[in-house]
Amino acid sequence: MQKKQLLTRLDDRQANELETYINSKSMWSPITSFVEEKGLRNDYTKGDFINFLKEVKEENSMNYAVFSYYSLKNLAEALGIDVKWKFVRRKAKLRKPSDREQQKPTLSAGQVEKMVNAVKGNGYDYEKFFLALSTSYGCRRIELSRVKEKDILKDRLLVRTGKGGEVREQYLPKQIRPIVQNFEFKDRDFTVNILSDVFHDIREKAGVEKRDRMGWHSIRRGLVTEFRKKVSQTDGYSDADLFKFVRWKPNSRVEEMLSIYDNADPVEADREMFEIHPSIHYWEEN
């Protein structure tokens, strides 16, 4: 069942609420799979959700199981179903990730440069587009899947963040501007799963060895690691600048208030960050 088919079978209120709750195309996947398996009803039980989540967990990664949990919670809320979600999550046994699952592969500056050179010389337009965004802003996979044509402006890009961080316009540097602005979306649907395949296609072209749990976040970790070196060595920059640039959610009341009261132009702040950006120069034409 596709998203459009599901919405047409809901009443107007339910359809509106479901579209309000879900702002990412990729979040429709667990919902439509659930409805295909269980049928579209207004009387789902806890067992329906629990059993489905168990199946998801057995066949997919822990991250996708948790992702599915939140997607189904949105479905239940739209349908007006009273479900004790803590109970559902506990019964689905979405346990703490194992040590292996918590491994954090990080791409080095050299590996990132090899990937950029690989797509510049022999890459599809979408490979250049997503790698340019990833290496420039450290975009999470979910953030890449949310980029729309309307989000690309003359000298800035709207990043619809993941994990509750700040949704904000960011400066679009001249090095990647042609790649980003000339990209043709053509109604192509780049889900988070498809984006994982895109990452590994690029990795293989670059000859970068695959490691467990390597993905777009590996570029983000590498970018933050290299940025920290620059920030610590360059006058006029602080960790707070990096914090905002990579769209981290404040994890304390103090950081939250600083974020609220800081009225500096974020785009201008980004422009300054790109002056010490560790990898944006990879995209310059030789």
The total number of residues shown for the chain amounts to 286
Give 3-61 as a DSSP string: HHHHHHTS-HHHHHHHHHH---GGGHHHHHHHHHHH-S-S---HHHHHHHHHHHHHHS-
Nearest to 284 by CA among 156, 142, 122, 120: 120
Which CATH number does the domain housing residue 136 bear? 1.10.443.10
Pairwise CA distance, residues 220 & 141, whole Å: 10
Domain limit, last residue, from 31, 64, 91: 91
Q: Are residues 250 and 145 in the same domain?
A: yes
Domains in the chain: how many in total?
2
pLDDT at 235 (0 to 100): 84
Give the structural domain span for 22.
Answer: 3-91
pLDDT at 232 (0 to 100): 80
Domain limit, last residue, from 91, 117, 138: 91
Kindly indicate the confidence band of residue 229, based on its pLDDT and cuts at 50, 70 and 90.
confident
Q: Are residues 273 and 132 in the same domain?
A: yes
Kindly indicate the confidence band of residue 4, based on its pLDDT and cuts at 50, 70 and 90.
low
pLDDT at 185 (0 to 100): 92
Q: Are residues 79 and 143 in the same domain?
A: no
Q: Are residues 84 and 122 in the same domain?
A: no
Q: Are residues 240 and 119 in the same domain?
A: yes
**CA of residue 261 relative to chain centroid, distance:** 27
Asked, for residue 98, whether it belongs to a domain, the answer is no
Asked, for residue 146, whether it belongs to a domain, the answer is yes
Domain limit, last residue, from 91, 119, 139: 91
User: Tell me, what DSSP letter sits at residue 282?
Assistant: G
Kindly indicate the confidence band of residue 180, based on its pLDDT and cuts at 50, 70 and 90.
very high
Q: Are residues 264 and 203 in the same domain?
A: yes
Q: Are residues 142 and 178 in the same domain?
A: yes
Kindly indicate the confidence band of residue 189, based on its pLDDT and cuts at 50, 70 and 90.
confident
**Averaged pLDDT, 155-170:** 77
User: Tell me, what DSSP letter sits at residue 152?
Assistant: B
pLDDT at 21 (0 to 100): 54
Kindly indicate the confidence band of residue 71, based on its pLDDT and cuts at 50, 70 and 90.
confident
Pairwise CA distance, residues 269 & 240, whole Å: 11
Lowest mean pLDDT across 111-115, 122-126, 247-251, 265-269: 247-251
Lowest mean pLDDT across 18-32, 90-104, 222-236, 240-254: 90-104
Q: Are residues 240 and 130 in the same domain?
A: yes
Asked, for residue 198, whether it belongs to a domain, the answer is yes
The b-or-e profile of 70-87 (16+ CB within 10 A means b, else e) is ebbbbbbbbbebebeeee
pLDDT at 85 (0 to 100): 58
Q: Are residues 34 and 118 in the same domain?
A: no
Average pLDDT, the chain: 80
